Amino acid sequence: MQERRIRTDRVPRHVAIIMDGNGRWAEARGLERNEGHWAGLESVRAVVRAAHEIGIGVLTLFAFSSENWSRPKGEVQELMRLLDHYIEEELDEVMRNGIRVLTLGRLDRIPPNTRKKVEDAVARSAENREMILVFAVSYGGRSEIVDAARKLMRDAEAGKLDPERLDEKTFAAYLYQPELPDPDLLIRTGDESRVSNFLLWQIAYTEIYTTDLMWPDFRKGHLVDAILDYQSRERRFGLTSAQVGSGRGGGRTEPV
């Protein structure tokens, strides 16, 4: 296989992934949908490892959306079990690799045993500095914005915030994980081109990469494809090309 090289000075700091297509992957093989989710867990393992090797700073995985609560009960239970299982099986490796675990979403809705496991992982890994792995669980972008607005209104009522001084930076400080940088790259598998209520505030200037691969087929090489595609783009943030300079040529590269 031809050697591929990633530009080390333009590795996306934050990659977010909508892991879509588990159900269709399973159905195409005459399997139960839940078997697709279990197969998707292998991709999660591979991609977390790969992200760490590549030097990505933050990896956010959309594990369960607010809307997913309306799926059949058996599927919801299985998805919770999967999260449980991932933490049980992978936490040692996560710790060895210096990865910090964080969550994003309304965790109060998830079963107490799963919640406890997730919270323990967050607490145990709190001092890790090599990479941040964020599980978006029971997460919806609109709910996040509404929750932020609620907290903000309470602060305004308490006289801690002057509505006239509210700006984007102040608002963003009320989101679930305000210290994280916005995603540079959003990957969506499963041959769909939708944002599906994911990180609505944070993806204002995120580069979006979609692929027709179903999530259980996604591996390191596909993450590299997405990063190389990202590195070929010019991010202008509303400015002109001349203002931002190309930034696309040159730079140090590393084989992957």
Q: Is 58 in the site for ligand FPP (CB under 6 A)?
A: no
Q: Are 50 and 243 in contact (CB under 8 A)?
A: no
The reply to whether 197 belongs to the active site is no
Q: Tell which one of 11, 17, 41, 199 touches ligand FPP (CB under 6 A).
A: 41
Which residue lies nearer to ligand FPP by CB, 120 or 254?
A: 120
Residue 86 lies near ligand FPP (rule: CB under 6 A): yes
Sequence-distant (6+) residues with CB within 8 A of 119 are: 107
Give 22 or 138: the residue with its C-beta nearer to ligand FPP: 22
The candidate with the shortest Cα–Cα distance to 46, out of 19, 84, 25, is: 19
- List 68, 97, 128, 197, catalytic entry: 68
Contact 19, 62 (CB under 8 A): yes
Q: Write out the H or E segment, with its range, that includes residue 28.
A: helix 22-28
CB of 77 to ligand FPP, least distance (A): 13
Interface with ligand FPP includes 40 (CB under 6 A)?
yes
Name the active-site residue from 20, 34, 84, 184: 20
Residue 78 interacts with ligand FPP (CB under 6 A): yes or no:
no
Q: Using the rule CB under 6 A, which residue among 12, 17, 22, 103 binds ligand FPP? A: 22
Q: Within 10 Å of residue 108's Cβ, how many Cβ atoms?
A: 8
Q: Give the residue closest to ligand FPP by C-beta.
A: 23
Is residue 105 near ligand FPP by the rule CB under 6 A?
Answer: no
Query: Do 183 and 161 contact (CB within 8 A), yes or no?
Result: no
83 binds ligand FPP per the rule CB under 6 A: yes
- The stretch among 17-25, 95-103, 168-176, 195-203 that binds ligand FPP (CB under 6 A) is 17-25
d(CA 229, CA 29): 30
Nearest Cα neighbor of 198 from 153, 154, 248, 136 is 136
Q: Beta strand 58-65 with 14-18: parallel, antiparallel or unpaired?
A: parallel
Contact present, 109 and 138 (Cβ < 8 Å): yes
Q: Does 21 bind ligand FPP (CB under 6 A)?
A: yes
Question: Catalytic: 34?
Answer: no
**Interatomic CA distance for residues 191 and 188, integer angstroms:** 8
Q: Residue numbers of the site for ligand FPP (CB under 6 A)?
A: 19-24, 37, 40-41, 44, 61, 63, 68, 79, 82-83, 86, 135, 190, 215
Q: Which residues are catalytic?
A: 20, 68
